[in-house]
Structure 1
């Protein structure tokens, strides 16, 4: 395919750390490496360029109760940036607020759009006590019905969008950095420090990696910490950290980690646990599997595609208050099962590279809308 000009309008980008940012970063990396031109439009604050690609920052405000999460505001800079860049396609990353502005601008300019559904906005809002989840769902459906092509990371996400009246839905999963997340990065000294206790056998190290925020239902880590013989390790940061540290004085909190430090932490766990049932994909499950660590995840959303119960991990019923604790106890008490599930999960993710995933955009999804390039029309 000829070199493309791709404008990515994202609800989040560096320095924010979350799934949307991570996906956009990998997309930009691979597109730039392939010789394509990239423009990123994202909420302020942040750098004005990324690996030589221009980043247009728009006005934003911090989400109440979660001030480090910036929400982009309507801004005329979006339309101007797209008109000046003249992209072949506009890639809308988890469109909601800023994505709506990007969609309107693209339609006015006659530029085809690919929208990537990545955030359960209604579920997110419910966790923060924001009313109107039905209205939020209708808004998400409204946006995606007006995009030329819609991509989802899981079968659960596809079902959700179709229930919102979106017919044009295509599965586009996530990659994992197999050179970074690998069992070879296990640190025996680190594991020993985490598992050590003053007397008796070492404890089983059970870890959570991710944002410490209400939508992740991290309060359920208290259930994990009560499993006998378990040492809980919490990797990440967020608005719930202070409360969790008070509630879990015996747990180890590492703060946010990245790169080799994160890979070493993942590989040094005995069990990985994810608590939230609202994930459209759940990237940390893949990263744990790539690290050779057995997974416990909710039987809801994205993990249903990633975890084969009893084969590559264990799924718990998020509606059963005892199910998570039982699953952790089963793995905690059976080292052979841990080894078998960890090895199977590791095999499962081989080949799921970001390069392969982003190349699918270039060879399949972008071309599908380029052939349907339309004249400028009225805004959405």
Structure 2
């Protein structure tokens, strides 16, 4: 089968949409299919050297205030690439701007389309603009409503879509690479470097952006015998270095280096309330690390409260701090 993956983000970007699009392309190649990826252009001309399939880049601009995110510009290249690939199916990964054009092209060419809901755009509008949730949902309904099938990564996402009038929705869960993320990678030397006095290591891994609410870790930084480790980059980085006293900021990490950091943590803390799935929660659990996460969205499916981690009210810094303190005080729970 010949499949075109139209994605708003693709490596070298580091986020859930890019990760899922890459893994989908890899899986299709392994199964003998012929995928093609269409994604926004990036600055690095060698960005796709290690891609598992051909990648067509369309013109894009950096998002104002967040230059790491590129937004695709209207381009006829999308329809042309889909037609030239003789696609049997169009897979829209997190469709909004580029994906909407992919949906239009698929409909015009009479090609079935599957749309994947991966980004809580209404939540982002609330965070960055303070309004616009209604407009975001109208856009989502238009794109997903035109697709032959919408795939939701979690039960909460599925219910959210159905509540806002999106039909033909099915649950599409995610896996985790247990060969890469595993407890055996725990590194005593790394732990000594990060916590020379033997502190409990509490880590966050992800983008440093306002919607991720990493600032909620400030209370955790104040716990005695606890060292917060932050992995990732983004526009909130400078402010967070001030807001999280004593935290260690490691920047962006990937591959085996990231897996080693995960396995060396004592607790993984996720703070973002707008996760339709949350891959890092799965990666932490595969690494044998208990999770503290908000009781909303994707983590509701992933974290078995009291068994694999603790769920706390979203946006509550005291509850987050208390959950970490409870795990710190009871090693048998970890």
TM-score above 0.5: yes
Looking at structure 2, the residues matched to 56 and 204 of structure 1 have their Cα atoms a distance apart, in angstroms, of 45
Name the residue aligned to 1:306.
302
- 1:241 lines up with 2:237 in the alignment: yes
8 Å CA contact 1:48, 1:57 repeated in 2? no
RMSD (CA atoms): 1.3
* Normalised TM-score (structure 1): 0.85
Task: Provide Cα deviations, 1:193-252, integer angstroms capped at 9, x if missing partner.
Answer: 22223xxxx211111011111111111121221222210011111111111112234111
Looking at structure 2, the residues matched to 327 and 171 of structure 1 have their Cα atoms a distance apart, in angstroms, of 30
Residue 23 of structure 1: which of 12, 15, 20 is its match? 20
- 1:213 lines up with 2:209 in the alignment: yes
How many equivalent residue pairs?
331
8 Å CA contact 2:152, 2:172 repeated in 1? yes
Name the residue aligned to 2:249.
253
Name the residue aligned to 2:181.
181
* Normalised TM-score (structure 2): 0.96
Task: Provide Cα deviations, 1:295-354, integer angstroms capped at 9, x if missing partner.
Answer: 00000000000011101110011154421111011001111111xxxxxxxxxxxxxxxx
Residues 302-311 or 187-196, more deviating: 187-196
Query: Unpaired runs of 5+ in structure 2?
Result: none
SS in structure 1 at match of 2:24: helix
Name the residue aligned to 1:227.
223
Name the residue aligned to 2:3.
6
SS in structure 1 at match of 2:61: strand
- 1:39 lines up with 2:36 in the alignment: yes
8 Å CA contact 2:273, 2:315 repeated in 1? no
Name the residue aligned to 1:376.
none
Looking at structure 2, the residues matched to 276 and 91 of structure 1 have their Cα atoms a distance apart, in angstroms, of 27
Q: Which has the larger radius of gyration?
A: 1
Between 1 and 2, higher relative CO (CA 8 Å, sep ≥ 6) is seen in 1
SS in structure 2 at match of 1:17: coil
The verdict on how the C-alpha distance between 1:204 and 1:135 changes in structure 2, with shifts beyond 3 A counting, is same
Looking at structure 1, the residues matched to 233 and 219 of structure 2 have their Cα atoms a distance apart, in angstroms, of 19
Task: Provide Cα deviations, 1:121-148, integer angstroms capped at 9, x if missing partner.
Answer: 1111222235312111121112111100
Name the residue aligned to 2:325.
329
- 1:297 lines up with 2:293 in the alignment: yes
Looking at structure 2, the residues matched to 42 and 320 of structure 1 have their Cα atoms a distance apart, in angstroms, of 36
Looking at structure 2, the residues matched to 48 and 286 of structure 1 have their Cα atoms a distance apart, in angstroms, of 26
